[in-house]
Structure 1
């Protein structure tokens, strides 16, 4: 069973595989900031300190809200991120949260259709 360590609150919890970071924070009082729960507001932005390889791939909503700048720095949205199969430590910075919350979502280009 994977563990999530919430660095800022110094709390660690055993969670089932494929658990959502934000949902587990809400269930066990991990204290990850949150507001909308849908990838729109950016309040639950965090950075994996350890175990990023145990997280699922970024979602479209994360790509829109965070953009390349924040994704390249390793940031994720707790409401969109799931722990796959190993331990992870997550931390957040309220100054980064403010910046992400103010950021307007990118309009993503549609992928070109496969030519047959």
Structure 2
């Protein structure tokens, strides 16, 4: 299985993750500062800023653009519960 690198700048930690891993799953395991509520993409609590490697993430789910818009998210923001690291290196911080 392909491995990717996911860096959380708030805790200054980089981990190797299997392709297809959701950002929120790793954030929970390592104690990064990404908070969450529903884990289904409804609440927008897990808003995350993608600093590098956005091209290595999954396309937004059908629900994600609406929730991002409702939360006045920026161009580089994603929902950690929805997006998956697919390849390469990705660097994020809590939104």
TM-score of the pair, normalised by structure 2: 0.86
Report whether the alignment pairs 1:66 with 2:68: yes
Q: Say which SS state the counterpart of residue 53 (structure 1) adopts.
A: helix
* Aligned residue runs from structure 1 range 20-31, under 5 A: 20-31=22-33
Q: For structure 2, list consecutive stretches of 5 or more residues without a partner in the other structure.
A: none
TM-score of the pair, normalised by structure 1: 0.72
Q: Say which SS state the counterpart of residue 10 (structure 2) adopts.
A: coil
Runs of 4 or more consecutive aligned structure 1 residues displaced over 4 Å after TM superposition:
none
Count of aligned residue pairs for this structure pair: 92
Q: For structure 1, list consecutive stretches of 5 or more residues without a partner in the other structure.
A: 94-116
Do the aligned residues in 2 keep the contact of 1:13 with 1:28 (CA within 8 Å)?
A: no
**Greater share of helix:** 1
Highest relative contact order (Cα 8 Å, sep 6+), 1 or 2?
A: 2
**Greater share of strand:** 2
* Aligned residue runs from structure 1 range 1-116, under 5 A: 1-67=3-69, 70=73, 73-93=75-95
CA RMSD across the alignment: 1.7
